[in-house]
Structure 1
């Protein structure tokens, strides 16, 4: 079953039942903490992960892709980022005429693809992108954060990054078992459930990274600008600076 974080009513029955059994402790822990202990809360989160692990979770990767790159993801899935992978992307885009060899050399000399938070990690949001105001640059600049983070303001290289590819959202259904050392999305799920049962909203931004290549079976679709689906998914019509 695919868990849609934004729709708690559709979650697997065993997850809902477990959270209903523990919601009093969760509400107290998320609130005034009159009686809930960290040991109780940690045990709930550990047991919650065990219930989630057999399922997939709906996820979104926000990026900018050339037509060839999008076709490759749909055909083959997503590879792990690395220095070599980025250099290959740059060479391929140059060969397609996206930019000159001088620009390619500038990209190769200024990237941050060896950063430990980027290499070997594919990052995903578990809530729809329009809930996160921090995704705009992923859609605005080609090459990913490992490339644009150092050069987005460069007067020569930055504008080129804006011209390559199309703003895209890769929608995937990812086995939760691929997040064995999660960054805490279980806590977001617990908070989302408590808020839902209480009749109000929770504005957390659950996200995590996979450390293995993602097979094509996990890819549901790629939504691209300027389609209506893209606007609805990203909320880009509300951006201060248009894409």
Structure 2
């Protein structure tokens, strides 16, 4: 196999699930064997393949590599600069309240709006949590998702502040409008380490994603709940509407 190798500043090759030419040889061989078996006996849908016993092995075959993934969000200009200089941080209360406080300090939120949003988000004291996003960065593992199911990303790209904030205010006609007016949609391309099978959660599982790509019968994709911060040197790009890397996905939010 001819391998197209992209190296990070730290000398680690990059694996892109969308590009089999970047898959390391042992991984490509293992995935090919699984795909051949699935083609003979497996269900038609890659998500239904019974590959649970291979998860640890596929993760460990990525040892020494970084995997390309995409984080969908909505960012203010100073937040774009912060990601470029500091990277992506896992969700916690300090992150949410820091974003709110900085937007308020810059005059982008009124006192009343700031107070209401600060009092009601998933990590605010006394709030009943919705979902399980704390301590994670959520990323798509394939751009096939942006073409196959773009509506999945509408809320993330249309509302500033992230799911932990907008989920509590999207039915409020005033605050929902505020969250949709702040910032602009952004797709952040990042490089992550998936070699530890216990550190993160991938759905659909990593073997299913790679085998689905090898079979090529469906637009295979998955998402990862990544439990480490992503350093600035592992941020490849931040694309907005009007940029080629964003506009190649016509179903994503435009404004």
Global fold match (TM > 0.5): yes
Q: Which residue of 2 aligns with 1:125?
A: 140
By how many angstroms is 1:178 displaced? 5.9
Give distance in 2, aligned partners of 1:185 and 1:89.
32
Output one character per residue of 1:70-103: Cα deviation in whole Å (capped at 9) or x when no partner: 1011001112211222111101001111120100
The separation in 2 between residues aligned to 1:95 and 1:28, in whole angstroms, is 61
Q: Give the superposition deviation at 1:223.
A: 0.6
Alignment match of 1:12 (pick from 24, 27, 43)? 24
Q: Give the drift of 1:144.
A: 0.3
Contact 1:22 1:44 (8 Å CA) reproduced: no
SS in 1 for 2:36: helix
Of residues 162, 175, 180 in structure 1, which corresponds to 2:180?
162
Instruction: Give the alignment's TM-score, normalised by structure 2.
Output: 0.81
Q: Deviations over 1:25-44 (max 9, x none)?
A: 23345328xxxx96xx4443
Cα 1:29–1:93 shift into 2, 3 Å = farther
Q: 1:216 to 1:20 in 2, by over 3 A?
A: same
The runs of at least 4 consecutive aligned structure 1 residues that moved more than 6 Å come to: none
- Correspondence 1:72 to 2:82: yes
* Cα drift, residue 227 of structure 1: 2.5
Taking structure 1 as the reference length, what is the TM-score of the superposition? Answer: 0.84
State how many pairs are aligned: 228
1:182 aligned to 191, 201, 207, which one? Answer: 201
Q: 1:69 to 1:177 in 2, by over 3 A?
A: same
Query: Aligned partners of 1:83 and 1:46: how far apart in 2?
Result: 32
Q: Secondary structure of the residue that 1:53 maps to in structure 2? A: coil
Query: Which one has a larger percent helix, Structure 1 or Structure 2?
Result: 1
Q: Deviations over 1:134-170 (max 9, x none)?
A: 0011111000011111211211100000111111111
Q: What residue number does 2:169 align with?
A: 151
Match of 1:64, SS? strand
Partner of 2:250: 235
Q: Answer yes or no: is the 8 Å Cα contact 1:61–1:170 preserved in 2.
A: yes
**CA distance 1:29–1:9, change in 2 (3 Å):** farther
Residues 44-53 or 61-70, more deviating? 44-53
Q: Which runs of 5+ in 1 are unaligned?
A: none
For structure 2, the residue ranges without an aligned partner over 5 or more in a row are 1-12
Alignment pair present for 1:26 and 2:62: no
